[in-house]
Amino acid sequence: MIPQQPIHNSILNMFQNASNQMQAEKPKATKPGKKIFKYPFISSQDFKKSMDNYENFVQNYNNSLQDRNQDVKDYNKLVDAMMDAKKVDKKHAKFANKLFSKQNNPLFVVDYNDFVEYENKKHACPVYKKREYQTVKWQSKLFFKAILGFYSAQIKRNNTLRLQATGKAARPLEMVVLDSNRLANAQKESLILNDAHKKTFQRHIKRFREAGILTDYVFVNANKPVYYFINSEILAISDHNPEKSSKTQNAENQLFISEPRTKCADNNHTTRTFLNEIKMKADTSASKRSSLSLTSFNLKVQEHQQNNNLEKDSPGAAENLKPHIRHAQQVSVGLKEIILDPLQFARMLHTQRFTHYEPLTKDLLYHEAHYGLLNKNEFRQLIIQDVLKRLSKLWQKSDFHIGSWVNALKIIDANWFVTFNGLEFDKTTVLQRLDEYDFRIKQTILWFNRNKNFNILYPSEYFNTNRKNSYEGGWMFTQQWWTSHLAKNNIAPQEKKKATSEAKRRTVYQNKVKRMRTKVRQVLANKITLADLFNYLDTSGFPEEIINMVPETIAYYEKLN
């Protein structure tokens, strides 16, 4: 008679057979091919098809998990049976599983289960249990849609930059570049759930990688973006030959190439990103002079007009300007248009043209003070007029002659933002005084709203520098409000810290511009390729405005050679 095997040995054999079977059934990821695209792009039809492919892929994946999860349940039952046969303490096993799960929580389910098998084989009795595979939930569709939108904008941007720099856009299919800044911009633009946290986004991406929706994950370090390929079974992408299109004059394709790209600005840099932020909402009658919106279209028109003027004075001067100077000109030209003639400004103040005026943003003024081309006097007049436009609503119900405003402007011009001997402040010093004037304006308007029975003085008297006492009702007394505010809140250390932070941010930005120029010179010297350049800029945290300067920088150095 054949001796019967002990029960725990037979269970162990079943345990090992189940492990080998599951090891053989692991799915393999599909890697994308190395096809060269002449002009890759994701059209609206491609986008829709990709989303349809995603839904089909997810449905098939979720269905496949039923069998895999059943295998996991069978494996865990064998572990329980083995522990019962070996009479392992259940409390000890439960604690060991909890600790093991916590230590290996970042692992994918498939890797975690492999590690469970490896650890169980090292012990006489297995105690660790496998995890069940999680399905891709319907909410993940919104996040995949956002990723696909990022990818479409990324390809479009790289096409534009490559065409401007070299006239060619041919390259292999690029990887998706994702970072937290793009996630933040997607939340602002409502591309994904407004209440989605960065960790939520990362969990969905982890599930996509686990399901094979995102493949070939590349992680550099915590300060740089991550890279993926979208599964070739899901992604639908078209190829287009711009040279052939230009010969046939295909209107639809030409429109696509010239379409403005989607921008995802870098949140860590605030300079050079405020070309669209001059929003001065004055009355309709004054909108032509007192309100200006520097949209991308307006900037192109202004740049064209400015280049024409430069060509009249010195032919070819506009083309030889460095890219960062050209960007600064675009902002400065728009700001210079805002500065009004004193007499005309007095007339508009007198007729209450700025009742609904919105002030210039501090970020825009910061950009102009450090990088713009306005001289000291122009910048000072810009700030003075901005302050007076905000205060002009105080005289809505007053009746006086326009000459009062003319005299007030003379007093202000002689005393505001100048030294004791009449020299004008430089632009950065004027900028540092903005917090003070902003506080004084707000407190003044608040005081007059509370004391509506008080008759405000005429402008020439209100801004008289000799009215320094509270009972005289002049502007100079508001200086004491600011002094008290500083003493109460001890703002001096905060201002010093802010100035240090701004200087550091400016230095970082300028260093990145220098690094970009160095890489461009390496491209022209054939030391690196254009693909290496864009990969370096994308992976090193360069803001979009510096990346956009690459074509102009290449053209600039080519002319020097």
Q: Give the model's confidence band at 179: pLDDT under 50 very low, under 70 low, under 90 confident, else very high.
A: confident
User: pLDDT at position 325, please?
Assistant: 61
For 240-255, what is the mean pLDDT?
A: 43
- What letters, b where the CB count within 10 A reaches 16 and e where it falls short, cover 291-322? bbebeeebbeebbeebbeebeeeeeeebeebe
Instruction: Show the tokens assigned to 522.
Output: 């390496």
**Residue 315 confidence (pLDDT) above 50:** no
- Mean pLDDT (the chain) is 74
User: pLDDT at position 176, please?
Assistant: 81
> Do 448 and 456 touch, CB atoms closer than 8 A?
yes
User: pLDDT at position 330, please?
Assistant: 75
| pLDDT tens digits for range 407-429 | 999 999 888 988 877 788 888 88
**Residue 242 confidence (pLDDT) above 80:** no
Distance from C-alpha of 98 to C-alpha of 125, rounded to nearest angstrom: 17
DSSP designation for 179: -
Kindly give the interhelix angle for 342-350 and 376-391, rounded to the nearest 10 degrees: 10
For 240-257, what is the mean pLDDT?
A: 42
Query: Which residue type does 135 have?
Result: T
**Residue 496 confidence (pLDDT) above 60:** yes
Higher-confidence residue of 282 and 325: namely: 325
| pLDDT tens digits for range 95-107 | 888 888 888 887 8
Q: How many CB atoms lie within 10 A of CB 506?
A: 15
User: pLDDT at position 169, please?
Assistant: 63
CA terminus-to-terminus distance, the chain:
96
User: pLDDT at position 326, please?
Assistant: 66
Sign of the C-alpha dihedral, residues 308, 312, 313, 319?
A: positive
User: pLDDT at position 371, please?
Assistant: 79
- The least confident of 83-87, 283-287, 457-461 is 283-287
For 490-496, what is the mean pLDDT?
A: 69
Query: Which residue type does 299 have?
Result: L
- The least confident of 176-185, 300-309, 367-376, 463-472 is 300-309
Nearest partner of 502 among 378, 334, 329, 371, judged by Cα = 371
> Do 473 and 454 touch, CB atoms closer than 8 A?
yes
User: pLDDT at position 12, please?
Assistant: 44
**Residue 446 confidence (pLDDT) above 70:** yes
Give 381-409 as a DSSP string. Answer: HHHHHHHHHHHGGGGTT----THHHHHHH
Residue with structure tokens 């300067």?
549
User: pLDDT at position 384, please?
Assistant: 92
Distance from C-alpha of 15 to C-alpha of 427, rounded to nearest angstrom: 77
User: pLDDT at position 320, please?
Assistant: 56
Residues sharing a CB contact under 8 Å with residue 29, sequence separation 6 or more, in sequence order: 212, 215, 216, 231
User: pLDDT at position 548, please?
Assistant: 82
Residues sharing a CB contact under 8 Å with residue 374, sequence separation 6 or more, in sequence order: 332, 335, 336, 368, 382, 427
Residue with structure tokens 């496949």?
64
Distance from C-alpha of 264 to C-alpha of 180, rounded to nearest angstrom: 11
- The least confident of 401-415, 509-523, 544-558 is 544-558
| pLDDT tens digits for range 19-76 | 444 444 444 444 455 677 777 888 888 899 999 999 999 999 999 888 888 888 888 8
| pLDDT tens digits for range 7-18 | 344 444 544 554
Q: Which of helix, strand or coil describes residue 129?
A: coil
